[in-house]
Amino acid sequence: MSPSRNCAALAAGLALFAAPAFADPIVDQEQTLIDAAAGFLGIGGDSEQQLAQTLTVGVTGDLVALNLPVTGCGGGDLVIEIRNVSSSGLPTGAVLAVIRRAPEDVPGPYAGLVTFELDEPLRVRRSQRLAFTVRTEGAGSFCSYATSVEGDTYAGGESFFDSRPNPPGWLASKEFPGPSDLAFQTLMDNLAPPPPPSSGGCLIPTPGGGPSGFAPNLPVCRCLRDEGLREFRCALLHPDFFAIRRIPWPLPDAPITETWEFYAIAPLDGSVRMTLSGGGIQKPLTKSFGLKSKLGKLGKLGGPETLVVNGILPKDLLAIPAVATFDYDMKDASSEWETNFSVDRSIDPDQFEQ
C-alpha cells in the first residue's frame, strides 16, 4: 500500500520560513518542489506512518537545522531523527541527533518550509550519507507533511515510508506512484575551509608560509588522484632524490595500504631517513633509504627502494593527522634550510570520494 495521505488542501506556492537564531548558515541540500494541489502525507495517525529521506552532504561543516514543510500537529510530539544510512541504503543507521517539538510549536495552517533547529550542531563531512526520519509520539498523535511533485526530484537520495497495514519496515517511495523524494532543506554553518590550492595532503611547512621563494634544497610536493589507477599519489621532489607515496582510493573499510617508492637522482651524501607517524600507524616507523640506491647510466634513475605500510583506519574520518619526517645531510652546508624537514601526510576523506 502506498503512503497514506491527508485530504486537506495546500495553500498555493512555497511560503517563506522564519530565519533561524544561529549566525549565517547556508542551504546545502534541498528539494523544494511542492505540489500545491496534491494534499499532505500523513505522519502518525491511524496508519502510524513514519516518513524518511536519505541525502548526501555537500559541504563539510555543522548541520544546524532542517527546513521541512510540516504542519497541523496534534495529540503528541513531532520527532525528527537524523541518522546514518545503513549499508543497504535504508534510513536505519545509528541516530546522530533528535529534534522534538510539541504540537503548539508547529504551525497549524500550512506555512511552507518550517525551520527545525538542532539542539547542538552536528559535525558532518562532504559526501557523507545521512537520513532524516519524521514521526509522532503519543497515542492519537498526528502531523501533516506537504507533498512533493511527482518524479525523482533529488539525485542525492530518496524517500521512504513505514505505514500500517503494511508490515513494519521502510518501503521506498519510488516503488509506488507519486513523488520519489520529500521536500526539505539542510542548513549548514561553520564550514570547513577549502584545502590549500597547492599540494592538498602533502604540504611542507616553510618559513615564508607559502610556495614562493623556495630555497634550492627545499623539496617540493605535489599530489594527484589517478582515477584510472584508482589511487592517490604524492611526489616529493628533492634535488638529490624523489619519493612517491601511493594510497588506494576510495578509503577502504579496514587497513590503509601506504606505499613509498624512493629513487636517487644524484649521488647521495648518505642515507635518507624517513619516519612515519599517525595516519593509522600505531607506532612511529623509521626507514633508511639510499643504502642500496644506485644511479643508472648517464645519470638515469636507479631502481626504487620500497616501503609498504598497513595502517588501521580510524573510525572518525573527519581528520586522520599524520606526518613524514625526512633527515638528510644536504651538500650545501651553508643553506639556511635545516637538513631535516616534515611533510604533512594527513588524509582528507574528501580526496578519496568516488
pTM over 0.75: no
What are the φ/ψ torsions at residue 45 (nearest 5 degrees)? 65, -160
Task: Write b or e for each residue in 78-97: b if 16 or more Cβ atoms lie within 10 A of its Cβ, otherwise e.
Answer: bbbbbbebeeeebbbbeebb
| Torsion, Cα of 261, 253, 121, 66 (10° steps) | 120
d(CA 253, CA 230): 16
Strands (E), 211-271: 220-226, 231-237, 241-248, 255-264
Which parts of the chain have pLDDT scores under 70? 1, 6-23, 193-218, 225-229, 249-255, 292-303, 312-321, 329-339, 347-354
Say which residue the cell 627502494 belongs to: 305
d(CA 100, CA 84): 18
Per-residue pLDDT, 347: 63
Q: Give the burial class of 247: count Cβ atoms within 10 A of its Cβ; 0-12 exposed, 13-18 middle, 19 or more buried.
A: buried
pLDDT digits (tens, 9 = 90+) for 45-67: 999 999 999 999 988 899 999 99
Amino acid at position 40, single letter: F
Q: Which CATH architecture has domain 220-352?
A: Sandwich (2.60)
Per-residue pLDDT, 196: 40
Say which residue the cell 640506491 belongs to: 293
What are the φ/ψ torsions at residue 35 (nearest 5 degrees)? -90, 105
Per-residue pLDDT, 194: 53
Amino acid at position 286, single letter: T
CA–centroid distance for 80 within its chain: 22
pLDDT digits (tens, 9 = 90+) for 172-181: 999 999 999 9
Domain boundaries, the chain: 5-189, 220-352
Per-residue pLDDT, 295: 59
- Write out the three cell numbers for 345: 601526510
- 297 DSSP assignment: G
pLDDT digits (tens, 9 = 90+) for 69-92: 999 999 999 999 999 999 899 999
**Check whether domain 5-189 has CATH 2.60.120, yes or no:** yes
Per-residue pLDDT, 60: 85
